[in-house]
Amino acid sequence: MSVLSGKKILLGITAGIAAYKTASLVRLFIKLGAEVKVVMTPASKDFITPLTLSTLSKNPVHSTFYDKEDENELWNNHVDLGLWADYFLIAPATANTLSKMANGTCNNLLLATYLSAKCPVYFAPAMDLDMYKHNSTKQSLDKLQSFGNVMIPATSGELASGLVGEGRMAEPEDIVSFIEKDVLSKLPLKGKKVLITAGPTYEAIDPVRFIGNHSSGKMGFAIANTAANLGAEVILISGPSHQKIQHSFVDRIDVVSANQMYAAAHKYYNSVDIAILSAAVADYAPKNSASQKIKKKDASLEIQLAPTKDILASLGAIKKHQYLVGFALETNNELENAKGKLQRKNLDAIVLNSLQDKGAGFATDTNKITIIDKDLKQKSFELKSKVAVAKDIMNEIISKLS
């Protein structure tokens, strides 16, 4: 999965011959799972049609503040467009538009949107050789980069004039690759390894029956996806779960029992920087699991249970450089029990959720948490989706690591 998957990309197109390449750009972004909207300068429509771009992007294309021929047409809000985008790419960026961007000139929708954008802005210059080398163009390029905009350098090649030299817009594939690498390099967990456990464990009574719990794995999977989106290499150890995850940065390892999860966690623990144990591991397992199905009888059935290995405590005991986070699902004396677990198991933080809170706990799409650090400082959050909760958890971890 690309780091651009699920992102909102605003593509700004100006009036250069390289505009014909923007159809390929839109298709590449869509293929990577991004949502694309297009804003054009009026003159750029001489080089590629809005119909082509709206068809490929599956979104309306904007080029003016309103349609003068339609008295009922709504105002195209440049502020909304600028705030909508996660990333804004201007390609091709002509000498004319670069100069206007550098000097704050605002005489079309694209420039108004640029001045309203709160997201990272990339621009790919495209012009003829002498224009590209002109001092005024160099000043525009330097000024724009000093503002924090990111330039995707022009390449050398055959130009529209017939000259051969620098000024050719980078190819669509190279533009997309450049943005992916730049985004990845700025992610806060780039170069970090994160171990996450998720879901329940099933402890076999016989080949048919087991002892388990109602955990769905939703919370752990949300954390894994969030950590991967932040640039981490994620090892996700999951008990039986119907949850799906498709991310190139996530290596999913499926286990069934507490013993299997214990072995997998210890196998990878030494190599990770962060470990988040959100799995609901069974505390007890049958002392002896029957090899054949136990037949039902009129008499009551007694099963001897033995405690499972405490994965969290065992990792806390051998902790070196890792930032270790546990979970506590409580029904009473929540804070006291969570703080006790935090200290006993040598954790750096613990995430508390209570079954007393409506919308929290197993198999729901929401959760309500309190994070307690090793200094016993606590931070509580309102009820949120588990995706949003995962972001809160990762943001707290990142703040501690920084």
Q: State what percent of residues in the chain have pLDDT above 90.
A: 81
- Same topology, domains 8-185 and 193-401? Answer is yes
CATH of domain 193-401: 3.40.50.10300
CATH superfamily of 8-185: Flavin prenyltransferase-like (3.40.50.1950)
Instruction: Give me the pLDDT at residue 159, please.
Output: 74
Q: Is the pLDDT of residue 346 over 60?
A: yes
What mean pLDDT comes out for the span 61-83? 69
Q: Find the catalytic residue in 213, 259, 337, 346.
A: 213
At 66 the pLDDT is 62
Per residue in 280-324, pLDDT (tens digit) is 999 999 999 999 999 888 788 889 999 999 999 999 999 999 999
pLDDT at 53: 97
Tens of pLDDT, residue by residue over 136-181, are 999 999 999 999 999 999 998 877 777 777 888 999 999 999 999 9
Q: What was the pLDDT predicted at 30? A: 97
The answer on pLDDT for 344 being more than 60 is yes
Mean per-residue pLDDT, 1-27: 93
The length of the chain is 402
> Rounded to two decimals, what is the model's pTM?
0.81
Give me the residue spans of the domains in the chain. 8-185, 193-401
Report the distance separating Cα 114 and Cα 104, nearest Å: 10
Half-sphere exposure (Cβ direction) of 396: Cα atoms closer than 13 Å: 25
Q: Please tell me the predicted confidence (pLDDT) of residue 296.
A: 87
Q: Is 333 known to be catalytic?
A: no
- Count of CA atoms in the C-beta half-sphere (13 A) of 154: 28
